[in-house]
Structure 1
Amino acid sequence: MIRRKKPVSVLVTYPGRRWRRSRPKALRRIWRLPVLVFYLLLAFPLAAWTCARKSEPDAGSYRAFAWWSRRVLRILGIHLRVDGAIPKSPVLIAANHVSYLDILALATLVSGRFVAKKEMRAWPFFGIMGEWLGTLFIDRSDARASQRTMRQASEILTAGTSIVLFPEGTTSDGKGVGDFFAAPFETASGAAAPTIPVALRYEDVLRPGQPDSLCPFIGEDSLFGHLWRLAAAAPLTLRVEFLPALAPELGRRKLAATAQAAIADALQRMEQGASITYLHDPRRRPIRDAWAAWRHGHEG
C-alpha cells in the first residue's frame, strides 16, 4: 500500500493593494485610540470586581484578563496564530520577549501568574493591574530578593498555577533570542514541573516569516510613544508556538540552554516559512473578486 505524502503547505499573502496593508496610516488612530481608552478605563472596574477583592487571583480573574487582553489585541490589529499544544496542567512557560504585548497574548492562552521586572510596577495602568493579577515583580539588582521571588514562584507552581516568565530579562527586536538567565528555571526544578518554551514573533502579513519593526518595545521607547506608533500600524500577525516540554530533571542551567536553543530554532523556522498555510483575507469581497477575475480573463 502506497502512503500518500502530506501536501506541502504554502504561504498565502493578503490580496489587494500592498500599500493599503503594509504602511502605517494616521487615520487608524481616529478609531483605535478612543476605543483603546474605553477598554483601559473598563479594565479598572473589571479588575476590581474579579481580582482586587481576593487575596489571590483565581480562575475568574484569569478569564476576565484573557477576555480583556483579546479585545485590546484586536483593537491594535494584532492577530494570534498559535502552533503546538497549549498546556492544560501547571507548567513553567519560558518565552522570548519582544514587547509588553507578549503578556496580553500569553494571557489569552494560558491561565497563570507572570514574573516581571520590578520597574513595571511603576508603569501607569499596567503596574496596578499587574499587582491585582498577582504578578511577581523581580528585582534583578538584589540577588536575595530575586531568590525569594523565585521560591515564591516555585510554591505557586507546586500549588497548581502555571508561571509565565521571560528569561532574557529584557526585550529584543524580535529577530532572534538573547541569552537566558538560569536562575528563573530553578522554579521548575523546585516544583518538579515541566518547562514549555514558547517562541513569539510579530510579523507583517505581507512578509511572512519576517519580524515586524513596529511592535518591539526596546531602547528608549516610552509606553505612550509606543502605543501612539502602534495605533497607526497595519494589521499584524503574532506567531505563538508552544514547543515540546522539557523535564525538570535537566536542572536550571541545562533547562535555560535547551529552552533558548529551542526558541532560536523555532524563530529560524518561522523566518524560513516552515510548513504553515498562511493568512487568507477574512474580509472577502466576492462581487469585486468575481469582477476582477472576469476582467483579467478578458484582457487582451
Structure 2
Amino acid sequence: MRAWLVIVPVVLVTLLGIPLQWLSVALRLPTRRTIPLLYHRLVLALIGVRVRVVGAPAPARPLLIVANHVSWLDILVLGSRLPLCFVAKSEVARWPGIGLLAKLQRTIFVDRTSRTATGRVAGEMAARMNDGDPVVLFAEGTSSDGNRVLPFRSALIGAARQGMGEEEGAAATIQPLAIAYIGLAGLPVGRAGRPHLAWYGDMDLAPHLMEVLRRGGVEVELRFGAPLAAGGRKAAAQEAERAVRHLLAQALNGRHG
C-alpha cells in the first residue's frame, strides 16, 4: 500500500515537470538547472530518503565529480544537492520513461561498444563544464553492492581533462565523491544489509524500485573529498579511486570529517 501511495504523487509531479523542463532545455532557460534540483528534492521527500552531506562540492569551475555508483537512487540523491549533468551508458536513453527523464536532465550518453565514442563524449563533457555545469562521472562503469568500490576506468577521466585543456587551456578540477547507504528505517545498515539497498548486477529495476518505495526510510551520505592534484590519465584515475575508497570507508564506519 505504501508503495502506491508514493507512486501516485511521484507520477503526478513527474508529469507536471516534464513539459516545464522540456521547454526550459529547448529555450536554454535558467530553469533547466533549477527544475531538476527541485524535482529530485521533492521525489526524495515523497520516497522517504534523507541525505547527509559531508564536505562540499568544490567551487572551482570547470568541475568533474568522480564518484562510485550504488543504485538508481544515486541520480536523485546527487541531483537534489546541486545543478549538474551525468554521464551514462547509451542503453539508458532507450529505457521507457527513465530515458526521457535522463535526456531532460541533460545526461551525456556514451556508447561503450564504440571505439570512437570517447572523443565525442569528452567534447560534450567539456562543453557542459565550460557552460558552468559540474559533470558527474560514475568511474566504475557500473554499480556495486554498496560495500566496496570497483576499479575505476581511466578513459573518460583523461579524455575530459584533455578536452578541457584543448578548449580552455586548463584542465577540469577533479573532485572525488563517495556515495554511502548508511541507514534504513532509522537503523544503521551493516555489510549484510547494504546490498539490499543497492541495485547492481542483473537485478531487475521494477522489483527493486517497488521494494524501496514500500520500505522508505533510506539514509544516504555524500562525502566530498578534496580536489585532486593534476596528473596523467591513469594517475588521475588511480588517485580518484584511492580517494573514493577512503571516503567510502569513512562513511560506512561512521567516521567524522
* Shorter-chain TM-score above 0.5: yes
> Partner letter of residue 127 of structure 2?
E
Equivalent residue runs for 1:26-105 within 5 Å: 27-51=1-25, 53-54=26-27, 57=28, 59-90=30-61, 91-105=63-77
- Mapped pair 1:237 → 2:216: no
How far apart in 2 are the matches of 1:123 and 1:62?
Answer: 23
> How far 1:189 moved relative to its partner?
4.3
Moved more, 109-118 or 211-220: 211-220
Which structure: larger Rg? 1
Equivalent residue runs for 1:219-230 within 5 Å: 219-230=201-212
Q: Which secondary structure state, in structure 1, belongs to the residue aligned with residue 136 of structure 2?
A: strand
Equivalent residue runs for 1:1-300 within 5 Å: 27-51=1-25, 53-54=26-27, 57=28, 59-90=30-61, 91-186=63-158, 187-191=160-164, 192-204=171-183, 205-207=186-188, 212-247=194-229, 249-275=230-256
1:298 maps to what in 2?
none
CA contact (8 A) 1:62 1:107 kept: no
> Partner letter of residue 196 of structure 1?
Q
Q: Which secondary structure state, in structure 2, belongs to the residue aligned with residue 231 of structure 1?
A: helix
1:21 maps to what in 2?
none
Q: Alpha carbons of 1:30 and 1:162: their partners in 2 closer, same or farther (altered >3 Å)?
A: closer
Q: Which secondary structure state, in structure 2, belongs to the residue aligned with residue 203 of structure 1?
A: strand
> How far 1:209 moved relative to its partner?
6.5
> Partner letter of residue 242 of structure 2?
A
CA contact (8 A) 1:182 1:256 kept: yes
> Partner letter of residue 130 of structure 2?
T
How far apart in 1 are the matches of 2:36 and 2:127?
Answer: 22
How far apart in 1 are the matches of 2:256 and 2:133?
Answer: 33
Q: Which secondary structure state, in structure 1, belongs to the residue aligned with residue 69 of structure 2?
A: coil
> How far 1:271 moved relative to its partner?
2.4
Query: Deviation string for 1:199-249 (max 9, x for gaps)?
Result: 0011224116756333311122233222211111140111001100013x3
> How far 1:265 moved relative to its partner?
0.9
Identity level (%): 30
How far apart in 2 are the matches of 1:179 and 1:102?
Answer: 18
CA contact (8 A) 1:214 1:229 kept: no
CA contact (8 A) 2:152 2:237 kept: yes
> Partner letter of residue 57 of structure 2?
I
Cα RMSD, aligned residues only: 2.0
Query: Deviation string for 1:130-167 (max 9, x for gaps)?
Result: 22332110011111022211132123323433211101
The number of aligned residues is 246
Q: Which secondary structure state, in structure 1, belongs to the residue aligned with residue 203 of structure 2?
A: coil
Q: Alpha carbons of 1:170 and 1:75: their partners in 2 closer, same or farther (altered >3 Å)?
A: same
> How far 1:92 moved relative to its partner?
0.2
